[in-house]
Amino acid sequence: MSELLEYDNQLRDKYPIIAGFDEVGRGPLAGPVVAAAVVLPANTEIPGVDDSKKITKKKHKDLAKQILSVAIDVQVGVVNASEIDNSNILEADKQAMLQALSKLQIEPNLLLIDGNTSQLLDTHHEQKTQVKGDSHSLSIAAASIVAKAIRDELMKGYAKKYPGYGFETNSGYGTKQHMTALEQYGITPIHRLTFAPIKNNLNNWPRNEGINTEKTEM
């Protein structure tokens, strides 16, 4: 039995149905925050599931498919850039997790959340936070992988609408290519206007509404 599964099983003695939560997309300059909630069957191993930061994008996609095939329930919450700007990144994280929680088709006995106590949600459900949870808990690790796979796919779509920024590879982080594109092509609707250096250049950089990728019916 893996250490990640053993961690969850110890909690299942008291909480038979555990929902693991994790989010991705805190640090990027562009794109949404995505959170996932995953409820796994007891004693279910998923080979290869570990801290999602150690896994390649291709592996994330493959593992996400495995998780979806064995999980009792998987749900996702997405909070876009304008919503992040209207609150703050911590509140956006929580909102994305609450979205995922509200969609669950099964009532969990425990919410197992990656992070510290600042990540606790405004809900009646019993909760436990775990720092670096995706390297301790199988449920959290699975949620991390699903959230990252979903966000990667969203950013690939944005890369088609807003070419030149490298969203398909940098996931919205401030790489050299991304920063050069901001100066050359401008700020898009998926950029976070409250994040530096964008907020410091709102009057200096142009605006870019992107390419219409929708097919026109004849």
* CATH classification at residue 53: 3.30.420.10
Whether residue 57 is predicted with pLDDT greater than 80 in this model: the reply is: no
pLDDT band (50, 70, 90) for residue 130: very high
Q: Is residue 35 part of a domain?
A: yes
Q: What pLDDT score was predicted for residue 49?
A: 85
pLDDT band (50, 70, 90) for residue 217: very low
Q: How far apart are CA 127 and CA 11, in angstroms?
A: 12
Angle at 52 between CA 170 and CA 178, to 5 degrees: 10
Q: How far apart are the first and last CA of the chain?
A: 58
- The residue-averaged pLDDT of 126-143 equals 95
Q: What pLDDT score was predicted for residue 155?
A: 97
CB neighbours of 217 closer than 8 A, spacing ≥ 6? Answer: none
CB neighbours of 46 closer than 8 A, spacing ≥ 6? Answer: 40, 63, 66, 67, 70, 138, 142
Structural domain including 74 reads 3-158
Q: Is residue 165 part of a domain?
A: no
What DSSP state is assigned to residue 172?
T
Question: Closest by alpha carbon to 163, among 126, 203, 208, 118?
Answer: 208
Q: Is residue 44 part of a domain?
A: yes
Q: Is residue 108 part of a domain?
A: yes
String of b and e for 22-33 (b: at least 16 CB within 10 Å)?
A: bbbbeebbbbbb
pTM comes to 0.93
- The residue-averaged pLDDT of 125-139 equals 95
Q: What pLDDT score was predicted for residue 50?
A: 67
Which amino acid type is present at position 44?
Answer: T
- The residue-averaged pLDDT of 34-55 equals 86
Whether residue 216 is predicted with pLDDT greater than 50 in this model: the reply is: no
Q: pLDDT (tens digit, 9 = 90+) per residue, 81-115?
A: 999 999 999 999 999 999 999 999 999 999 999 99
pLDDT-wise least confident of 51-55, 139-143, 184-188 = 51-55
Q: Is residue 217 part of a domain?
A: no
Q: Is residue 77 part of a domain?
A: yes
Q: Is residue 14 part of a domain?
A: yes
Q: What pLDDT score was predicted for residue 52?
A: 59
Number of domains comprising the chain: 1
Q: What's the whole-number average pLDDT of the chain?
A: 93
- Residue at token pair 């390297």: 135
